[in-house]
Amino acid sequence: MAVSLPIDIDSVKGFLAADEGEALFEMALQASTLAPCLEIGSYCGKSTVYLGCACRQNNSVLYALDHHRGSEEHQLGEQYHDPELYDAGVKAMDSFPVFRDTLARAGLDDTVVPLVTSSSVASRHWATPLGMVFIDGGHSEAAAQTDYRCWAGHVVRGGILAIHDIFPDPADGGQAPYHIWQLARASGLFEHLPTVNTLGLFRRR
């Protein structure tokens, strides 16, 4: 059954399929009863709306972590570059103004806490247990490994680890998210849950 959202989700730029968004909502609805949730890679806020609306139902918080300068594939001249998100004044991609507009339109300003920095910097002194971690940041091997190494261990028992863009076949997409999915599955820390489209899901043991 489709999730009822406060805005037209198709009006938000992003690469999240509807079934993946609905799965994120359902997982966050459970996980946010345990502790706050965190997403890595907010972009313009599509996943943030699903996760934030679930957290709001439980009077919880979603930390939305993104430096908002874009992943490798978003840069000038790359495959997923969006000219509307390019700030010519600083000669860099900047999705933060659009992200904030999404939060305002969805009424999530009192639920979502934006963290505008890199994954490694944000994690340096992090001490808050997390009910859910959703990894959808940079898709280079280094970025994905950093996100997994820095954040997976903060998921509380019974909480959820979600990883986007899982492509077992290299012909279908980049392999870095699949590699950290494999790490999570082999770690012994997580119970493997059914994958939804390209969304890998685990529950912390």
pLDDT for residue 116: 98
Q: Does 110 map to a domain? A: yes
Residue 2 in any domain: the answer is no
**For residue 168, how many other CB atoms are within 10 A of its CB?**
12
Name the CA radius of gyration of the chain, rounded.
16
- Is residue 90 in some structural domain? no
pLDDT of residue 82: 73
What pLDDT does residue 71 have?
A: 74
* Residue 138 counted as domain residue: yes
Half-sphere exposure of 68 (CA within 13 A, CB side): 18
Query: Torsions phi, psi of 82, nearest 5?
Result: -115, 110
- Nearest CA among 125, 106, 122, 124 for reference residue 114: 122
Identify the segments of the chain with pLDDT beneath 70.
1, 75-80
pLDDT tens per residue, range 27-51: 999 999 999 999 999 999 999 999 9
Q: What pLDDT is stored for residue 83 in this prediction?
A: 73
Measured torsion, CA atoms of residues 191, 187, 149, 54, in degrees rounded to the nearest 10:
0
- The reply to whether 171 falls in a domain is yes
Torsion angle (degrees, nearest 10) of CA 109, 110, 116, 118: -130
Strand 130-135 with 112-115, pairing: unpaired
The answer to whether residue 83 is domain-embedded is: no
Number of domains the chain is built from: 1
Helix (H, G, I), strand (E, B) or coil at 7: coil
Q: Is residue 158 part of a domain?
A: yes
Which CATH number covers residue 158? 3.40.50.150
Quick one: pLDDT at residue 18? 97
Residue 42 belongs to domain spanning: 16-66+95-204
Asked whether residue 175 is assigned to any structural domain, the reply reads yes
pTM score over 0.75: yes
Told to judge if 81 belongs to the known catalytic residues of this protein, a careful annotator would answer no
Kindly name the residue from 67, 68, 74, 139 that is annotated as catalytic: 139
